């Protein structure tokens, strides 16, 4: 997977062959220069790709290469991990600053010029664990990791760069480690440390940054922004990866489609403030980088201490966005998600949030559970409102003990009764929050994030707990563990309903307060890990007012995530297909909810609601006691269908056929379509939804991913087609549809 050869100067060239991609870089007079990232190539020595033209006088040359290579300038070179202040005036990946201590100083102190020179490399089998942060994992025969050791010659500070290449995935994982080995034994402030940076030459005809923007109830819409000679960047300063920008972007060309063209996705395994930026310099090189947002970030390293960046994952495709997504899906499903539920078939659940909001008691829950059992649903989830005095969102977060006015029979008895009906039982928590009206806040007002002397902003009547504190995490662990051990609870929905403001922490000294945002995220990870270690059987579902923290790091703990608080099937089409740019269907929690829909007021047929919710981890979110017999019969049918199609949806390959935003649909109304194909191509499930019908409903749907030479039977009609016919000529779906009508076609390979 990783080959190291020698350049004519005797310096190493690293060729990482990962899946069917190549990633090549070289050492040039000690500088790490990027050479190639794309479809696999045969040559190792591609140093001829370096830009070697001479430049104008404003471009500085490094002192140590100037005599030998007059053309060489860091400001023009394609770099692997660009640093600040040494002659590359583009965006830097790395900047550190030596500080003074106890009267000791250095000429370098207070300056942020940073230089990185290659010293040595090591290749290890598999993928070593660098620290406790979430990361992709791989077995010894599945991956190789290249570890480069570099130094800043003036300060002696060490930088380690990690690159993992995979046998079966066209993906590269990257991260950096900064070790304070400063010669003067001074403290070091890390000012910015991105996880990865890649310089691409000549992205033709025009580079674009594809990214996922959104809002509450409106997450992950696909947008393509042209990258001119300026920086295009997406970021979060909210303390969470956010509804507004997902920590993912893809470098594409103007001509990239689902099935053709360059698509290099970069996905950051991180749940806090991040930035992903791309810009094209005046020489035509496009730099793509991702990492912790340097705004509101510094990290103090005392001598001997290290800082590890989160991991960034590159998915490299020259066959369009579809392939890039499928690499992310499989890699995250198989090498990021963990635990007992990673491969286990997830239960179909009913959640009482939209059924009752805060207005429920044990009897109401049991009534829903009885209907659920009758319909074949497998788990009841008791959402927000079961604890403290929580009858509205104004109180009790932090008071994680059962409200016995509502759950009169007690937790144990309630769960026993639900289990007796044949259902599992799940519960909701929002651990990182506290209500000002709560016993917890009364006892520990200093436990929330705050800055003495400043007012605390409030959102949804709650404050954010200071997750950097060990005592806070211990309290949360103990109180949650008490609930989780009190009954047979098999699922937890972990919510997070506001973002961080007035980010201060009383226990950290001033020089460490730039660490709070990142420490908050690390504190949450620690609590998640501790709870899952103590309760390994629990299926954790992440949530953040819907999908406000739907990121790869959360999938490391929770293999499924509540995709959005907008449960309207038509709205969900765009949200779910946007989410599928990076995240596998198995991670997308999708529920059939009531009509008129609570968020939009729209009416959509029960059948279509089911078809759309089958785009991921399936469930219901409505009052089952209020349904007609006909609707209950439909639920029984949907649950059976979901079981039948479970493997192809959750373990198959996704092909996006029509996005609701595709302009081409205007000639035949507005629609959306996608399909899953099993890995062995023996079956496929196609979903087609007409969002807004048209006077000329002409739909020929060209499928993808089938075996061209095999014959497939349409299970419902009995029609038989060759795979190539379905992919080249398409299915004839021309008929008059009503708005919101949908079709699901199950194709099975003929033996």
Question: Is 362 noted as a catalytic residue in this protein?
Answer: no
Quick check: helix, strand or coil at residue 445?
helix
**634-643 contacts: CB < 8 A, separation 24 or more?**
634/606, 634/607, 634/610, 635/375, 635/376, 635/377, 635/592, 636/375, 636/376, 638/592, 638/610, 638/614, 639/348, 639/375, 639/376, 639/377, 640/376, 641/610, 641/614, 641/744, 642/348, 642/614, 642/618, 643/348
Closer residue to ligand DGJ (CB): 326 or 390: 390
Sole window of 134-142, 437-445, 543-551, 587-595 interacting with ligand DGJ (rule: CB under 6 A)? 543-551
**Shortest Å distance, C-beta 459 to ligand DGJ:** 12
741: contact with ligand DGJ by CB under 6 A: no
Q: Which of 21, 497, 563, 742 binds ligand DGJ (CB under 6 A)?
A: 497
The tokens for 289 are: 């980088």
The answer to whether 25 and 80 have CB atoms below 8 angstroms apart is yes
Sole window of 164-172, 262-270, 362-370, 542-550 interacting with ligand DGJ (rule: CB under 6 A)? 542-550
**Shortest Å distance, C-beta 353 to ligand DGJ:** 5
The answer to whether 22 and 40 have CB atoms below 8 angstroms apart is yes
Looking at residues 582 to 601 of the shown chain, list those that interact with ligand DGJ (rule: CB under 6 A): none
- Cα 628 from Cα 660, distance rounded (Å): 31
Query: Binding string, 346-385, against ligand DGJ, x = CB under 6 A?
Result: -------x-----------------------------xx-
Burial of 148 (0-12, 13-18, 19+ CB in 10 A): buried
Closer residue to ligand DGJ (CB): 22 or 242: 242
Burial of 481 (0-12, 13-18, 19+ CB in 10 A): middle
Closer residue to ligand DGJ (CB): 617 or 675: 617
- The catalytically annotated residue of 565, 568, 623, 653 is 565
428: contact with ligand DGJ by CB under 6 A: yes
Closer residue to ligand DGJ (CB): 397 or 743: 397
435: contact with ligand DGJ by CB under 6 A: no
- Cα 106 from Cα 98, distance rounded (Å): 8
Sole window of 141-149, 323-331, 500-508, 540-548 interacting with ligand DGJ (rule: CB under 6 A)? 540-548
Closer residue to ligand DGJ (CB): 137 or 428: 428
**700-703 contacts: CB < 8 A, separation 24 or more?**
700/729, 700/730, 700/731, 700/732, 700/733, 700/734, 701/657, 701/658, 701/673, 701/730, 701/731, 701/733, 702/657, 702/726, 702/727, 702/728, 702/729, 702/730, 703/655, 703/657, 703/675, 703/727, 703/730, 703/731
398: contact with ligand DGJ by CB under 6 A: no
546: contact with ligand DGJ by CB under 6 A: yes
**Shortest Å distance, C-beta 358 to ligand DGJ:** 8
- Cα 514 from Cα 517, distance rounded (Å): 7
Of 424, 381, 429, the closest CA to residue 401 belongs to 429
Sole window of 40-48, 270-278, 541-549, 643-651 interacting with ligand DGJ (rule: CB under 6 A)? 541-549
Closer residue to ligand DGJ (CB): 94 or 543: 543
Task: Count the site residues for ligand DGJ by CB under 6 A.
Answer: 11
Helix axes 411-420, 362-375, angle to 10 degrees: 20
**Shortest Å distance, C-beta 430 to ligand DGJ:** 7
Range list of β-strands (E), 543-677: 560-562, 588-593, 617-621, 653-658, 670-677
Closer residue to ligand DGJ (CB): 328 or 353: 353
652: contact with ligand DGJ by CB under 6 A: no
Question: Is 88 noted as a catalytic residue in this protein?
Answer: no
**Shortest Å distance, C-beta 564 to ligand DGJ:** 8
Q: Is 721 left (phi over 0), alpha (psi -120 to 50) or beta?
A: beta
**Shortest Å distance, C-beta 508 to ligand DGJ:** 30
Sole window of 16-24, 303-311, 539-547, 600-608 interacting with ligand DGJ (rule: CB under 6 A)? 539-547
- The catalytically annotated residue of 279, 495, 566, 623 is 495
275: contact with ligand DGJ by CB under 6 A: no
- Cα 396 from Cα 383, distance rounded (Å): 14
**Shortest Å distance, C-beta 747 to ligand DGJ:** 34
Closer residue to ligand DGJ (CB): 459 or 748: 459
Q: Which of 432, 495, 551, 653 binds ligand DGJ (CB under 6 A)?
A: 495
Sole window of 249-257, 310-318, 468-476, 538-546 interacting with ligand DGJ (rule: CB under 6 A)? 538-546
Q: Which of 274, 328, 341, 562 binds ligand DGJ (CB under 6 A)?
A: 562
- Cα 207 from Cα 249, distance rounded (Å): 13
**Shortest Å distance, C-beta 592 to ligand DGJ:** 14
Closer residue to ligand DGJ (CB): 545 or 580: 545
The answer to whether 464 and 449 have CB atoms below 8 angstroms apart is yes
Closer residue to ligand DGJ (CB): 546 or 723: 546
**Shortest Å distance, C-beta 428 to ligand DGJ:** 6
Read off the DSSP letter of residue 309.
P
The answer to whether 453 and 504 have CB atoms below 8 angstroms apart is no
Q: Is 605 left (phi over 0), alpha (psi -120 to 50) or beta?
A: beta
Question: What number of helices (H) and strands (E) belong to the chain?
Answer: 12, 38
**Shortest Å distance, C-beta 341 to ligand DGJ:** 19
In 179-273, which ranges are continuous DSSP H helix?
Answer: none
Q: Which of 543, 590, 617, 731 binds ligand DGJ (CB under 6 A)?
A: 543
- Cα 638 from Cα 648, distance rounded (Å): 15
Of 539, 422, 534, 419, the closest CA to residue 476 belongs to 534
Closer residue to ligand DGJ (CB): 158 or 544: 544
- Cα 13 from Cα 210, distance rounded (Å): 31
Q: Which of 18, 158, 280, 545 binds ligand DGJ (CB under 6 A)?
A: 545
**Shortest Å distance, C-beta 545 to ligand DGJ:** 5
The residue number with the shortest CB distance to ligand DGJ is 384
Q: Which of 541, 565, 623, 683 binds ligand DGJ (CB under 6 A)?
A: 565
Give the active site residues: 495, 565
Binding site for ligand DGJ (CB under 6 A): 353, 383-384, 428, 495, 497, 543, 545-546, 562, 565
């Amino acid at each position: 997977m990783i080959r190291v050869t020698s350049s004519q100067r005797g310096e190493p060239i690293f060729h990482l062959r990962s899946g069917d991609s190549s990633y090549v870089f070289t050492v040039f007079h000690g500088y790490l220069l990027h050479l190639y990232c794309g479809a696999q190539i045969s040559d190792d020595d591609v140093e001829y790709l370096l830009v070697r033209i001479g430049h104008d006088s404003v471009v500085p040359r490094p002192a140590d290469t100037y005599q030998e290579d007059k053309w060489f300038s860091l400001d023009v070179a394609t770099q692997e991990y660009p640093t600040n202040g040494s002659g590359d005036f583009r965006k830097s990946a790395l900047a550190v600053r030596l500080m003074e201590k106890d009267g000791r100083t250095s000429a370098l102190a207070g300056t942020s010029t940073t230089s990185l020179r290659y010293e040595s490399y090591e290749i290890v089998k598999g993928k070593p664990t660098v620290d406790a942060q979430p990361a992709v994992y791989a077995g010894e025969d599945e991956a190789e990791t290249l570890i480069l050791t570099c130094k800043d010659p003036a300060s002696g500070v060490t930088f380690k760069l990690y690159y993992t290449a995979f046998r079966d995935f066209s993906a590269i994982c990257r991260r950096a480690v900064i070790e304070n080995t400063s010669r003067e034994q001074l403290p070091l402030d890390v000012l910015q440390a991105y996880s990865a940076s890649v310089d691409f030459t000549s992205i033709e005809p025009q580079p674009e940054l594809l990214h996922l923007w959104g809002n509450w109830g409106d997450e992950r819409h696909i947008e393509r922004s042209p990258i001119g000679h300026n920086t295009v960047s997406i970021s979060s300063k909210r303390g969470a990866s956010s509804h507004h920008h997902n920590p993912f972007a893809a470098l594409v060309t103007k001509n990239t489609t689902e099935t053709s063209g360059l698509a290099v996705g970069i996905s950051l395994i991180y749940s806090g403030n991040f930035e992903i930026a791309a810009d094209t310099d005046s020489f035509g090189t496009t730099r793509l980088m991702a990492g912790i947002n340097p705004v509101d970030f510094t990290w103090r390293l005392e001598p001997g201490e290290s800082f590890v960046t989160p991991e960034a994952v590159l998915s490299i495709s020259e066959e369009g966005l579809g392939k890039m997504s499928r690499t992310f899906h499989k890699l995250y499903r198989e090498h990021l998600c963990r635990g007992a539920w990673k491969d286990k078939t997830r239960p179909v659940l009913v959640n009482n949030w939209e059924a009752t909001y805060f207005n429920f008691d044990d009897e109401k829950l049991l009534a829903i559970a009885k209907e659920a059992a009758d319909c074949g649903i497998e788990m009841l989830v008791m959402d927000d409102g079961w604890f403290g005095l929580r009858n509205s969102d104004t109180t009790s977060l932090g008071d994680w003990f059962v409200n016995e006015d509502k759950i009169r029979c007690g937790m144990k008895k309630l769960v026993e009764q639900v289990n007796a009906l044949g259902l599992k039982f799940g519960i909701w928590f929002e651990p990182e929050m506290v209500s000002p009206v709560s016993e917890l806040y009364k006892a520990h007002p200093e436990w929330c994030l705050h800055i003495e002397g400043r007012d605390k902003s409030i959102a949804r009547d709650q404050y954010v707990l200071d997750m950097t504190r060990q005592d806070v995490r211990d309290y949360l662990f103990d109180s949650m563990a008490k609930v989780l051990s009190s009954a047979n609870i098999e699922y937890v929905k972990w919510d997070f309903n506001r973002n961080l403001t007035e980010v201060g922490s009383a226990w950290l000294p001033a020089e460490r307060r730039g660490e709070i945002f990142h420490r908050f995220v690390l504190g949450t990870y620690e609590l998640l890990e501790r709870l899952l270690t103590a309760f390994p059987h629990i299926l954790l579902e992440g949530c953040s007012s819907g999908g406000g923290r739907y990121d790869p790091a959360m999938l490391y703990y929770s293999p499924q995530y509540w995709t959005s608080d907008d449960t309207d099937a038509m709205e969900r089409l765009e949200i779910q297909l946007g989410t599928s740019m990076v995240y596998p269907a198995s991670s997308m929690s999708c529920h059939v909810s009531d009509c008129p829909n609570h968020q939009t007021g729209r009416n959509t047929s029960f059948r279509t609601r089911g078809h759309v919710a089958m785009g991921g981890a399936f469930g219901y979110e409505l009052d089952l006691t209020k349904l007609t017999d006909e609707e209950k019969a439909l639920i029984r049918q949907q649950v059976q269908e979901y079981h039948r199609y479970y493997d192809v949806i959750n373990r198959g390959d996704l092909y996006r056929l029509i996005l609701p935003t595709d302009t081409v649909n205007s000639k035949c109304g507005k629609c959306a379509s996608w399909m899953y194909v099993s890995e062995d191509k023996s079956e496929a499930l196609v979903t087609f939804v007409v969002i807004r019908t048209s006077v000329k409903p002409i739909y020929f749907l060209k499928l993808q991913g089938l075996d061209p030479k095999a014959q497939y039977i349409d299970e419902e009609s009995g029609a038989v087609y060759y795979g190539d016919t379905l992919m080249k000529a398409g299915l004839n779906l021309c008929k008059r549809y009503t708005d919101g009508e949908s079709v699901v076609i199950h194709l099975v390979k003929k033996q």
